[in-house]
Amino acid sequence: MTIAAVSRKYALTPDTLRYYERIGLLPPVARTSSGIRDYREDDCSWIEFIKCMRSAGLPIDFLVEYVKLFRQGDETLAQRIRMLKEQRDILAGRIADMHTSLDRLDMKIEHYENMMAPIEHEPKPME
Amino acid sequence: MTIAAVSRKYALTPDTLRYYERIGLLPPVARTSSGIRDYREDDCSWIEFIKCMRSAGLPIDFLVEYVKLFRQGDETLAQRIRMLKEQRDILAGRIADMHTSLDRLDMKIEHYENMMAPIEHEPKPME
DNA sequence: GCTTGACTTGGAGTACACTCCAACGTTTAT
DNA sequence: ATAAACGTTGGAGTGTACTCCAAGTCAAGC
């Protein structure tokens, strides 16, 4: 799979894909004999995982470290679990905070709509 | 209330408070005769609201526009409601996405813990 | 065999959101 | 009344995460 194809598939620019690989956010991708990246299944799985985690706001440092440990093999498993759990809790906390903000936004909207009501009051049909 | 007091109260640096005011994320704050900011109740409400919305990831542009419209008075109410609803939906979507990521993280953790289990298996007392 | 278009690299540039600083004025405690 | 602490401004600097670019390589179609 060429970089262009992967780019389309995951809506990440080729520049971003190369950038991610450069900083170690993705493991090095296999190359053709002439040096062109040839993305495999595994690479795609990583990209999807990384994209998902990045969109959730997990820090790049963490993910770089995670990728590094993963590539070191099974003896890093316990450490990776600890790291994942830590990030899981942080993420859960952020979701909770965002929910608080959402509720507040909803309250504000409701409040404003009540203010509007007397003006744009269109009597609804009884049924 | 001085800028230092507000800074402590909301855990925003004085620099950030001045920056927010400069870009219009906060309405201009009243000053003493010698030009020193004197934050009032209203200012604090704004700061708290803005802090909450920023922490939820609402864009600064949006909030600047919102503050601007608010200061223009009631004739902008309908527009503000539309804007709030739009942001509400975007936020709800982001929360949903983050929940997907959270679930995925949980699955990964569970999967890894199952891999660990045979190794660190400590037989639990029957009760 | 030559153009066209996709790929490569290293490095520079950009956008966002602060964050820091110098140079100066004001307030407060001794 | 003077030092220390806090406030002001405009502007420069920082960190993050890309994003763009020049200069060059490579493969495919005509």
Residues 73-102 of B with CB under 7 A from strand C: none
Mean pLDDT taken over chain B: 91
Residue B34 pLDDT greater than 70, yes or no = yes
B59-93: pLDDT as tens digits? 999 999 999 999 999 999 999 999 999 999 999 99
Q: Given an 8 Å threshold on Cβ–Cβ distance, is B55 in contact with A101?
A: yes
Q: Which class in CATH covers the domain with range B3-118? A: mainly alpha
User: CB B72: neighbour CB atoms within 10 A?
Assistant: 12
Does at least one atom of strand D sit less than 7 Å from the CB of B5? yes
Q: What is the pLDDT along chain A (127 residues), one digit of tens a residue?
A: 999 999 999 999 999 999 999 999 999 999 999 999 999 999 999 999 999 999 999 999 999 999 999 999 999 999 999 999 999 999 999 999 999 999 999 999 999 999 887 655 455 556 5
Cα separations in angstroms, A39 against A9, A17, A30, A71, B19: 12, 11, 7, 17, 45
If pLDDT is split at 50, 70 and 90, which confidence band does B127 have? low
Residue B107, CB half-sphere, CA atoms under 13 Å: how many?
7
If pLDDT is split at 50, 70 and 90, which confidence band does B124 have? low
**What local confidence, expressed as pLDDT, does residue B126 receive?**
59
**What local confidence, expressed as pLDDT, does residue A120 receive?**
52
**What local confidence, expressed as pLDDT, does residue A125 receive?**
58
Interface of B with A in 30-89 (CB under 8 A): 49, 52-53, 55-58, 77-78, 80-81, 84-85, 87-88
User: CB A56: neighbour CB atoms within 10 A?
Assistant: 21
SS3 A121: coil
For the CA of A36 and the C1' of D28, the distance in angstroms is: 15
Residue B24 pLDDT greater than 70, yes or no = yes
**Cα–Cα dist A90/A127, whole Å:** 48
**What local confidence, expressed as pLDDT, does residue A7 receive?**
95
Does at least one atom of strand D sit less than 7 Å from the CB of A48? no
**Cα–Cα dist B6/B67, whole Å:** 19
How far off is chain A from B35, nearest CA to CA, in Å?
33
**What local confidence, expressed as pLDDT, does residue A79 receive?**
94
For residue A103 the two structure tokens come to 């509720």
CB B27 within 8 A of CB B46: yes
A42-56: pLDDT as tens digits? 999 999 999 999 999
Does at least one atom of strand D sit less than 7 Å from the CB of B2? yes
**Cα–Cα dist B9/B5, whole Å:** 6
**Cα–Cα dist A10/A8, whole Å:** 6
Q: Quick one: DSSP state of residue A35?
A: S
| A3-119, CATH topology level | Multidrug-efflux Transporter Regulator; Chain: A; Domain 2 (1.10.1660)
Overall average pLDDT of the B96-101 stretch: 95
